[in-house]
Structure 1
Amino acid sequence: MLSLTACQKESTNNGDNNVSQGDQNEANKVSWWQPKASVTFDWCLDDLKNSDTFTAEVVDVDAFTTTAQQVAALHAQGKKVIAYISAGTIEDDRPDINLLPKEVIGQVYPEWPKERWLDIRQREKLRPWLNSRIDRIISKGFDAIEPDNLDSYSNETGFDISINDTKLYCDFLIKLAHDKGLGIGQKNVPELSAEYSKKFDWVLTEDAFDQKWENDVKPYIAQNKPVFAVEYTDRTSQSTFTNTICPKAKNLKYSAILKKRELNKWVFTCK
């Protein structure tokens, strides 16, 4: 089952009024969705239809093309809904590209030629753009954020970005999300898992079993947080997924699915 847990912000009482410390704490409380390990998951970045249904308890969809009405329809089905955004690149077909100053936009991401890497070291220059994306997500009623492209430190971005820069940016993203009542997950970057399983609310992996780093994200299970393990059909057959990956995933308490690389509605799940 899913749970909602409150996170207490610090508050102070300067003695100038009759509000008790307990009352102030209650007023300043911020809550966000914090799922538990083994919750079921699906991921679809195709444009949704209003009639679409999903069997999984958690559904991850595009923050821009998904409407508030579609999010509400998924909630009516009892789903929690995650908003996909890129946090490390800018896509040239998104309407908010003008919120980024030119000096933070770097080289083209070769695997995705419509995207360019961002200089995540310049966090304050990225803040208006990120806040705009988060406000869009909140206005549509999403429960959480999937921030993609956190691995700029291992790519040719045009900037000298280190893994420590990535950690600082992750801290920045987590605070932005949690302060506004949204959950947020780690996307890939398995080397962050030991430290950031205590900070992010779940982890989403791509081809972790195929690439043999599935054990790197086990710290999330130790925190009773989900591992959403996505394998792709261009690397893993349905038979391999069923006979090899599913038993491993079940033993690890991961929520594993097989998807097509284009992340359309098609999904193959463990039985």
Structure 2
Amino acid sequence: MPHAHRVRSRKPAVVAASLTCAVVGGLLVSSSANAAAPAVELPPANAPFDYQIGQAYTPASDVEVVSRDHTASPAAGLYNICYINAFQAQPGAEDEWGDLLLTDADGEVVYDPDWDEAFLDIRTAAKRQQVAAKVNTWIDACADKGFDAVEPDNLDSFTRTDLISKANAKAFVRLLADHAHDKGLAIGQKNTPELSTERSATGLDFAVAEECGEWKECGDYTEGFNDDVIVIEYQQKYFDETCAQWGGRLSVVLRDVLVTAPGGSGYVRKAC
């Protein structure tokens, strides 16, 4: 089951790094060593968005961009982002990962304390390659289904365990970014504002930021991604504040924390 609400890390933004890509006519053109990959299309900036990672449903008539779990199908006629849990094992799926689960000095599997999910072991280049090989099969499926982009969740796992470093996370997500680009997909940075200005290392194209208005971090994302930022807020107060400050530039949506479908008692979806 995919997740919506993540506990945020309170880390300062990093110093800006030079970018190795440019956006021309809505297409991302790479100037990196991976320049032979096909150009990918970014989500339209400031477009009405719906976050459907909990359950897919018919989008409202105003929606232009939607994010759905990789097990779902894209919405016809819209820009579709494919959600994958890339840094942690889904609950109950530990056996699928074998020795690729993170273990501590006692050999015990280490779990995310907030979501009770086992961390994946991305501490060495060899392990990163093995984990990426599995995650990239999901990226392949996203491309085959007709998605336009991929959203790998839990990039910020290094903020919830001391066993994984920021450098580990950057190196691993770069493997996913290069593969996504090879498949013609854009790839989004999920949360983790401190990495927004390190795109030359991560290879990421746009940002999906939960609660950046609440935590006053939206500017950290625009520093690295300009207006290519999608914002999800979960409280009306912060949605209103974010719309007032950023609604003219960024895609901002209010959703219920469980990202339910219309008809459910807790369903909420509003856009600026």
Q: 1:214 aligns with which of 211, 218, 228?
A: 218
CA pair 268-162 structure 1, distance change in 2 beyond 3 A: same
1:162 Cα deviation (Å)? 1.1
Q: 1:248 aligns with which of 245, 250, 257?
A: 245
Report Cα offsets for 1:218-238 as digits up to 9, x if no partner. Answer: 22453xx51111111xxx3x3
2:253 maps to 257
1:174 Cα deviation (Å)? 0.8
CA pair 81-36 structure 1, distance change in 2 beyond 3 A: closer
- 1:220/1:227 contact within 8 Å kept: no
Q: 2:209 aligns with which of 205, 209, 221?
A: 205
- Of the structure 1 ranges 137-146 and 192-201, higher mean CA displacement relative to structure 2 is found in 192-201
Q: Match for 2:223: what amino acid?
A: P
1:9 Cα deviation (Å)? 8.5
1:7 Cα deviation (Å)? 4.9
Give the TM-score of the pair, scaled to structure 1: 0.75
2:70 maps to 63
- 2:233/2:255 contact within 8 Å kept: yes
CA pair 241-176 structure 1, distance change in 2 beyond 3 A: same
- Residues 11-22 of structure 1 mapped to structure 2, 5 A cutoff: none
Looking at structure 2, the residues matched to 100 and 221 of structure 1 have their Cα atoms a distance apart, in angstroms, of: 33
Residue 152 (1) aligns with residue 150 (2): no
- 1:8/1:29 contact within 8 Å kept: no
Greater share of strand: 1
Q: Match for 2:64: what amino acid?
A: E
Q: Match for 2:39: what amino acid?
A: S
Looking at structure 2, the residues matched to 192 and 6 of structure 1 have their Cα atoms a distance apart, in angstroms, of: 20
CA pair 29-152 structure 1, distance change in 2 beyond 3 A: closer
Q: Match for 1:111: what amino acid?
A: D
CA pair 120-239 structure 1, distance change in 2 beyond 3 A: same
Instruction: List gaps (5 residues or longer) in structure 2.
Output: 1-24, 103-108, 262-267
Relative CO higher for 1 or 2, CA cutoff 8 Å, sep ≥ 6?
2
Q: Match for 1:227: what amino acid?
A: V
CA pair 10-127 structure 1, distance change in 2 beyond 3 A: closer
Looking at structure 1, the residues matched to 215 and 238 of structure 2 have their Cα atoms a distance apart, in angstroms, of: 14
- Percent identity between the two aligned chains: 31
Greater share of helix: 1
RMSD between superposed Cα atoms in Å: 2.7
Larger-Rg structure: 1
Looking at structure 1, the residues matched to 154 and 37 of structure 2 have their Cα atoms a distance apart, in angstroms, of: 31
- 2:233/2:253 contact within 8 Å kept: yes
2:82 maps to 83
Aligned length: 231
Instruction: List gaps (5 residues or longer) in structure 1.
Output: 12-24
